Chain A
Amino acid sequence: MKEMHRLSAVELRDAFLKGETTALAIANHYLKRIEAYGSSLGAFLKVLGPRVLLQAEALDKKRAQGKPLGKLAGVPVAIKDNMHIAGETTTCGSKFLENYKAPFDATAVRCLESEDALLIGKTNLDEFAMGSSNENSAYFPAHNPWNLKRVPGGSSGGSAAAVAARLALLATGSDTGGSIRQPASLCGVVGFKPTYGRVSRYGLVAFGSSLDQIGPFATTVADAALAMETMGRPCPHDSTCLDLPKEHYKLTRDLTDVKIGIPNRFLENLKPEVQKNFLDAVDILRALGARTVEVDLDVLKYSIAVYYILATAEASTNLARFDGVRYGVRSPSAKTLDQVYDLSRKDGFGREVKKRIMLGTYVLSAGFQDAYYKKAQKIRTLILEAFEKAYETCDAVVMPVATSGAFEAGAIHDPVEMYLQDIFTVPANLAGLPAISVPSGYDGEGMPLGIQIIGPQMCDVSVMSYAYAYEQATKWGRIPPAFLDGGAS
Chain B
Amino acid sequence: MKDLPYELWEPVIGLEIHAQLNTRSKLFSPAPNHFGDEPNTNISFVCTGQPGALPVINKEAVRKAVQFGVAIGASISRFSTFDRKSYFYPDSPRNFQITQFENPLIRGGTVAADVEGQSKTFRVNRAHIEDDAGMLKHFTNFAGVDYNRAGAPLIEIVSEPCIHSPKEASSYAAAIRAILLYLDACDGNMEEGSLRMDANISVRPKGETALRPRVEIKNMNSFSFLEMAIEAEVSRQIALYITHPHRSPIELIPPGTYRWDAEAKQTVLMRAKESADDYRYFPEPDLAPLILSEEYIDSIRDALPELPHNRFKRYVSDLGLTEYAASVLINEKALSDYFEAANAIANNPRLLCNWITVEFTGRLKDKGQTLLSLGIPPEHVAKLVQMIDQGKITGRIAKDVADEMVAAPGTDPETIVKNNPDYQPLEDTGSIEPLVDQVLAENPQSVADFKAGRDKAFAFLVGQVMKLTRGKASPQVVNDLLKRKIR
Contacts and interface: CB of A to CB of B under 8 A. Distances in A.
Q: Do A and B bind each other?
A: yes
A321 B280 contact: no
A326 B280 contact: no
Nearest to B278: A366
A418 to B, nearest CB: 25
Nearest to B96: A317
Interface in B45-80: 45, 48-57
Interface stretch (A20-28, A34-42, A130-138, A232-240): A232-240
Contact of A237 (B54, B94, B95, B285): B54
B93 interface: yes
A201 B45 contact: no
Nearest to B57: A239
A233 B95 CA distance: 30
Nearest to A340: B90
A327 B55 CA distance: 19
A239 B96 contact: no
A361 interface: yes
A106 B52 contact: yes
Contact of A361 (B84, B94, B280): B280
Interface of B: 45, 48-57, 84, 86, 88, 90, 93-96, 143, 145, 278, 280, 282, 285-288
A238 B54 contact: yes
B280 A92 contact: no
A204 B90 contact: no
A320 interface: yes
B280 A210 contact: no
26 contacts: A104-B52, A104-B53, A106-B52, A202-B52, A202-B53, A205-B51, A206-B51, A206-B52, A206-B54, A206-B286, A209-B286, A236-B56, A239-B55, A239-B286, A317-B94, A317-B96, A317-B282, A320-B88, A320-B94, A320-B96, A326-B93, A364-B86, A365-B280, A366-B278, A366-B280, A373-B282
A386 B95 CA distance: 36
Contacts of B93: 321, 326
B86 A317 contact: yes
Given A97-B51, A209-B285, A239-B56, 16 more contacts: A83-B52, A100-B51, A103-B50, A104-B50, A104-B53, A204-B52, A206-B286, A237-B54, A239-B286, A313-B282, A317-B96, A317-B282, A320-B95, A327-B50, A365-B280, A366-B278
A116 interface: no
Given A321-B95, A341-B88, A361-B280, A92 B51 contact: yes
A214 B16 CA distance: 42
A57 to B, nearest CB: 28
A238 B286 CA distance: 8
Contacts of B86: 317, 320, 364
Point out which of B45, B52, B56, B286 has the most chain A C-beta atoms below 10 A from its C-beta: B52
A210 B45 contact: no
B49 A201 contact: no
Contact of B54 (A97, A201, A313, A326): A201
A237 B50 CA distance: 13
Contacts of B95: 317, 320-321, 323
A323 B143 CA distance: 16
A317 B288 CA distance: 18
A416 B280 CA distance: 25
Nearest to A106: B52
A314 interface: yes
A8 interface: no
A242 to B, nearest CB: 11
B57 A323 contact: no
Contacts of B287: 239-240
A76 interface: no
Nearest to A202: B54
B320 to A, nearest CB: 53
B286 A240 contact: yes
Interface residues of A, number: 41
A224 B56 CA distance: 29
A92 B55 CA distance: 21
B94 A321 contact: yes
Nearest to B91: A325
Contacts of A209: 285-286
Given A320-B88, A321-B93, A364 B282 contact: yes
A267 interface: no
A83 B51 CA distance: 9
A203 interface: yes
A337 B145 CA distance: 12
A71 interface: no
A90 interface: yes
A395 B217 CA distance: 60
A147 interface: no
A198 interface: no
A211 to B, nearest CB: 9
B280 A369 contact: yes
A364 B85 CA distance: 11
Given A323-B95, A326-B49, A239 B278 contact: no
B88 A364 contact: no
A82 B52 CA distance: 9
B45 A103 contact: yes
Contacts of B285: 209-210, 240, 314
A334 B210 CA distance: 48
Interface string A300-328: 00000000000001100100111101110
Nearest to B145: A325
Point out which of A97, A103, A201 has the most chain B C-beta atoms below 10 A from its C-beta: A103
A33 interface: no
B13 to A, nearest CB: 27
Contacts of B280: 317, 361, 364-366, 369
A102 interface: yes
A205 B52 contact: yes
Top 5 nearest A-B pairs by Cβ distance?
Answer: A320-B95, A209-B285, A210-B285, A364-B280, A205-B51
Contact of A84 (B52, B84, B96, B288): B52
Contacts of A321: 49, 51, 93-95
A239 B288 contact: yes
B409 to A, nearest CB: 46
Contacts of A206: 51-52, 54, 286
Nearest to B51: A205
A365 B54 CA distance: 24
A336 to B, nearest CB: 11
A317 B45 contact: no
Contacts of A366: 278, 280
